[in-house]
Amino acid sequence: TIPVIIDCDPGIDDVMALTLAFAHPELDIKLITTEPGNQTQEKTIHNALTFTSYMKKNIEIARGLDKPFFRKLEIADKVHGENGLGNVEFPEPTIQVSNRPAIEAMKETLLSSNEQIILIATGPLTNVGALLLAHPEVKSKIKYISYMGGAAVGGNMSPTAEFNVYVDPHAADIVFRSGIPIVMSGLDVTHKAYVTIEEINEMEAIGSDFASKVSQMLRFYIHSAKQTAFHAPNFENQIHLHDLCAVSYVLTPELFEGDNCHVAVELEGKYTAGTTIVDYAQQTGLPHNMKVLHTINREKFVEQFFHAVKQMSAD
């Protein structure tokens, strides 16, 4: 099995990412931590608890920090809805929130593990940044960070900044400069990781309560994408499953291609705060700190997602 910790801000695509992880027993999920981003901490922790309970998984879920390092919190309620999950309701959780705060739970999980752990991060990196600042001794226990965030070209929160980095650029900066290997699934690859409305209809036809909830959430996501400038301009009847890429890469890296390069974060800037500066062309001469993905086998990726929804419908 592959030991992982998942740090997230659920979020429609975050729970789709959890679905993919839950459907693969070869992933040993040691801990789930939440942070604000798509919604407030109050709501993201609630969503992690309800969703994981609904999926009948018994995993420790710990509450992370309440706000970004310095910036005022900006949430994506227009994209993910008032409850953060496209206003699709799940029953009250049966799992209790952990009595360990996220940073402590992450630290203890990492330090007590005999093997290195992969950190899957699908939110603004506030928790991971704080962890590395407070407990740098955990670094050697992290095999790599599979991270959804950033973009080489074009943003979704501003013309150049991707949402997760935009929300907490200072946290991202700490993580990017930590020396830990990072695989970045930025918009360059996640915009190619989409499902179409026809595929969503097919999924709904699985006929389970879960498949119907998944398709409701994705329909909401398509609709909200049309109302906001959050998604790629030509996305009329399809929707990107950003956060799934970070889980999919851990399971099946052969579905992706990327290049090693240096990535920096713009912390300030009238127009550019939260922009990732991806030096594909090696112009800065700075050492490579990341593998930046740009290509995905969409067909296999969608198959993998379908399989996960089917699998979790049966359980």
Instruction: Indicate which residues carry an active-site annotation.
Output: 242
- Residue 162 lies near ligand BDR (rule: CB under 6 A): yes
- Residue 173 lies near Ca ion (rule: CB under 5 A): no
Torsions phi, psi for 179 (to 5 deg): 90, -5
- Residue 182 lies near ligand BDR (rule: CB under 6 A): no
- State the binding string over 237-276 for Ca ion (x if CB under 5 A, else -): ------x---------------------------------
| Strand ranges inside the chain, DSSP E | 2-8, 27-34, 61-63, 117-121, 142-148, 182-185, 194-196, 238-240, 256-265, 276-279, 290-296
Cα angle: 164, vertex 167, 171; to 5 degrees = 85
- State the binding string over 3-42 for Ca ion (x if CB under 5 A, else -): ------x-x--x----------------------------
Residue with Cβ nearer ligand BDR (168 or 243): 243
Q: Which of 3, 4, 6, 14 binds ligand BDR (CB under 6 A)?
A: 14
How far is 301 from 235, CA to CA, in rounded Å?
18
Instruction: Let me know how many helices (H) and strands (E) the chain has, helices first.
Output: 12, 11
Residue with Cβ nearer Ca ion (79 or 309): 79
Closest listed residue to residue 253, CA positions, set 125, 143, 126: 143
Q: Which of 47, 109, 122, 313 binds ligand BDR (CB under 6 A)?
A: 122
Residue with Cβ nearer Ca ion (175 or 261): 175
Residue with Cβ nearer Ca ion (123 or 169): 123
Q: Which of 19, 50, 98, 122 binds Ca ion (CB under 5 A)?
A: 122
Site for ligand BDR (CB under 6 A): how many residues? 14
Residue with Cβ nearer ligand BDR (16 or 62): 16
- Residue 186 lies near Ca ion (rule: CB under 5 A): no
Report the Cα 258 to chain-centroid distance in Å: 18
Q: How many CA atoms lie within 13 A of 312 on its CB side?
A: 31
Contact segment (CB under 6 A) with ligand BDR among 10-18, 24-32, 208-216, 285-293 equals 10-18
Q: What's the sign of the alpha-carbon dihedral 204, 231, 38, 124? A: positive
How far is 129 from 127, CA to CA, in rounded Å?
5
Closest listed residue to residue 39, CA positions, set 27, 30, 51: 51
Q: Which does 162 bind (CB under 5 to 8 A by kind): ligand BDR, Ca ion, none?
A: ligand BDR
Least CB distance to ligand BDR at residue 114 (A): 31
- Residue 242 lies near ligand BDR (rule: CB under 6 A): yes
Contact segment (CB under 6 A) with ligand BDR among 139-147, 160-168, 208-216, 255-263 equals 160-168
Do the Cβ atoms of 7 and 147 come closer than 8 Å?
Answer: no
Closest listed residue to residue 224, CA positions, set 88, 110, 49: 88
Pairing of strands 2-8, 27-34: parallel
How far is 25 from 32, CA to CA, in rounded Å?
16
Binding site for Ca ion (CB under 5 A): 9, 11, 14, 122-123, 243
Binding site for ligand BDR (CB under 6 A): 11, 13-14, 38, 76, 79, 122, 148, 156, 162-164, 242-243
